[in-house]
Amino acid sequence: MTNILSIDVGTTSIRGILYDESGSVLGIKSVLTPLIFVGEYIEQSAETFRNALVEIVSDVKKYGSIDAISVTAFRSAPALFDEEGNALSNFIMWQDTRNKEICERIAYANDEVYNTTGANINAVFTASKITWLKENMPEAYQKAYKALVVPDYLIHYMSGAWTSDRTYGSRTSLMNIKTLEWDDKMIELFALDKEKLPDLVDVGSVVGYTTEAFAKETGIQSGIPVISSGGDQQNGALGLGELDSSSLVINCGTGSFIISLIDEPYLNNHSMICNVSAIKDKYTVESNVLASAAALNWLIKELFPDLWHDGNVDFETFNQLAASSPVGANGIVCVPLFQGCGTRDWNLNARASFSNLNLSNTRSDLARAMFEGIASEITKSIQALPEASQNANRVFVGGGLTKSDFFNQVLADMTGKELYRYSDAQATAIGAFMNAAVALKLYPSYQEAFEAVRKESEIYSYQPNEENHTFYQTYNEKTEKVYKVLND
């Protein structure tokens, strides 16, 4: 029996879940990785991620043997490393926009970048963050052997490999989405050096094996295969059962990501992002909302301090308060663009707003308005997808925000679509298990791996209320008017 440890690297924590070959969970360990805020900069240290990884692996082995390690993570946070694997900078986190001016500087080449890489120039992506490091930390850049994103670094630390799989490559603005190799013109545009980029490998590849040093540090065996299972959102979609183009996935965590699976690169709409899928030889069309749970957490921390206990939130009470407000939140219109507007308008200068308040409004109205605002942004992002994706007959939701039945019902009403949610919310870790299981030939197909790991998961459905859906269609028009007025 082969046990697989899925390492799921989130923005503020890392989770390790040990699965046996049949897909049953043997044990779970989570470690917080708090962000570093330096003014408006958002960073994380390699040491924090490394220590969390070692703690997880060292602890999880008590649940059973670790026979393979599969890594999935958020996708666009680079740091510089020397040839010995020592960090020369912190990771610039994906939501950090210090590189915005660099993106504006090369905006003239946006069409070429989109047609080459599958996405517009954007400060979220990796390339311009590395350019920022080169321009602002020239000595570190000159000394650097490789620029790595977080999963690349953790894989290197375990195995010694200097690789990046193509799901992460498709989030850099440096990889050609058609050839799936680093593109010399893009590297030149961002003024970078090709030799400082890791080798590209296919998603779901065994990229190396645990070293003697890592084995000694954690108490596990050396020579254990390490699998790069791809980006968190691609794996989240896979873990929710997006195995063909008939389904749509909405993954609501710190931000929300709306993902559709396709067979060939889609380059017909600049609003969309085309990425490599967690399934080899497949692609995704993706739209996003940059702040979802992050926006909700801000509201609770600042305006509901009685429900915020050192980051442990009384969501049950908060949901009850929100549900006590009627549809439309007694007139409040929320546009929750705390980190700017994502794919549907690519406007990182946009900011959040609550409008149309009066003295009779309560904090319950504000709570509901936030849920409705997030759902409205997700709906608009769906409407920007290709028509076939908009009309997908199965819509699966996952991520921490969808633990709220109230939010799921608001989202069903807002979109007018029936939504499905699995009782096991660990979709990203499940996708990583599936990728490793197929890579190790434990299952001949993703479908069979999915059926194994989801065998005991209950599934819940949320039917849209037609009256509420009709109301929300007008509400969406209002939120868009507010957005346009503020951004004009």
pTM value is 0.88
| Any domain includes 21 | yes
CB 398 within 8 A of CB 249: yes
For the CA atoms of 325, 331, 332, 335, the dihedral, rounded to the nearest 10 degrees, stands at: 120
369 confidence band (pLDDT: 50, 70, 90): very high
- Residue 135 within any structural domain of the chain: yes
Element (H, E) at 390: helix 387-390
- Give start and end residues of each alpha helix (H) in 197-342: 212-218, 232-239, 293-303, 315-323
Question: Which two structure tokens, joined as six digits, stand for 94?
Answer: 């994906």
- Residue 77 DSSP one-character state: -
DSSP state, residue 406:
H
Check residue 335 and give its pLDDT. Answer: 97
Out of 169, 199, 233, pick the residue that ends a domain: 233
**Residue type at 17 in one-letter notation:** I
217 and 244, same domain (yes or no): no
**Rounded to the nearest 5°, which phi and psi values hold at 56?**
-65, -50
Q: Which two tokens stand for residue 463?
A: 């039917």
Residue labelled with tokens 């109205």: 365
Across-strand partners of 199? 163
Asked if residue 393 and residue 272 are part of one domain, the reply reads yes
Mean pLDDT in residue range 4-8: 98
Residues 186 and 293 in one domain: no
Residues 125-130 have a mean pLDDT of 98
Cβ 345 vs Cβ 479: under 8 Å: no
Q: DSSP secondary-structure letter at 90?
A: -
Q: For residues 206 and 229, is the Cβ–Cβ distance under 8 A?
A: no
On whether both 280 and 260 belong to a single domain, the answer is yes
DSSP characters for 92-131?
E-TT--TTHHHHHHTGGGHHHHHHHHSS---TTSHHHHHH
| Residue 446 within any structural domain of the chain | no
d(CA 80, CA 90): 8
User: Is there a contact between 148 and 133 (Cβ–Cβ < 8 Å)?
Assistant: no
Q: State how far the Cα of 137 lies from the Cα of 130, in Å rounded to an integer.
A: 10
- % of the chain with per-residue pLDDT over 70: 100
Residue 325 counted as domain residue:
yes
Give the per-residue pLDDT at 391.
86
One domain, residues 221 and 296: no
> Which pLDDT score, from 0 to 100, does residue 349 have?
87
Domain assignment of residue 95, yes or no: yes
Q: For residue 393, is pLDDT > 80?
A: no
Q: Is the pLDDT of residue 245 over 90?
A: no
Residue 31, CB-side half-sphere exposure with 13 Å CA sphere: 18
Q: Is residue 437 part of a domain?
A: no
Question: Which tokens hold the place of 352?
Answer: 């959040």
Per-residue pLDDT of 54-107, as tens digits, reads: 999 999 999 999 999 999 999 999 999 999 999 999 999 998 999 999 999 999
Same domain, 194 and 336: no
With a CB cutoff of 8 Å and minimum separation 6, the contacts of 216 are none
> In CATH, what number is assigned to the domain containing residue 86?
3.30.420.40
Same domain, 475 and 377: yes
- Judged against a pLDDT cut of 90, whether residue 348 lies above it is answered with no
> Which amino acid type is present at position 99?
N
Range of 204's domain? 4-233
Residues 276, 217, single domain; the answer is no
Helix (H, G, I), strand (E, B) or coil at 200: strand
Query: Cα–Cα–Cα angle for 144, 146, 148, nearest 5°?
Result: 120
pLDDT over 90 percentage in the chain: 88
pLDDT of residue 418: 95
Dist CA 60 CA 47 (whole Å): 20
Contact 96, 165 (CB under 8 A): no
Among 186, 217, 233, where does a domain finish? 233
Flag whether 448 is in a domain. no
Q: Residue with structure tokens 């028509």? A: 387
- Tell me if 147 sits within 8 A of 78, measured CB to CB: yes
Beta-strand ranges (E) seen in 220-272 are 225-231, 247-252, 256-262
10 Å CB burial of residue 446 (0-12, 13-18, 19+) is buried
Residue 204 CB partners (closer than 8 Å, separation 6+): 165, 227, 228, 229, 230, 278, 279, 280, 435, 436, 438, 439
How far apart (Å, rounded) are the C-alpha atoms in residues 270 and 148? 27
Tell me, yes or no, whether 251 and 151 share the same domain.
no
Q: What is the mean pLDDT of residues 394-419?
A: 94
The domain total for the chain is 2
Question: What pLDDT is stored for residue 456 in this prediction?
Answer: 87
Interior angle at CA 186, CA 254 and CA 277, nearest 5: 45
**437-470 residue pLDDT tens:** 999 999 999 999 999 999 989 999 999 999 999 9
Which of residues 179, 207, 233 is at a domain's end? 233
- What are residue 288's phi and psi, to 5 degrees? -145, 160
- If asked whether residues 305 and 408 sit together in one domain, one would say yes
Residues 357 and 389 placed together within one structural domain of the fold: yes
Pair (263, 379) in one structural domain: yes
**Structural domain contains residue 488:** yes
What is the distance between the alpha carbons of residues 89 and 47, in angstroms, rounded to a whole number? 11
232 with 150: CB under 8 angstroms?
A: no
Q: What is the mean pLDDT of the chain?
A: 95
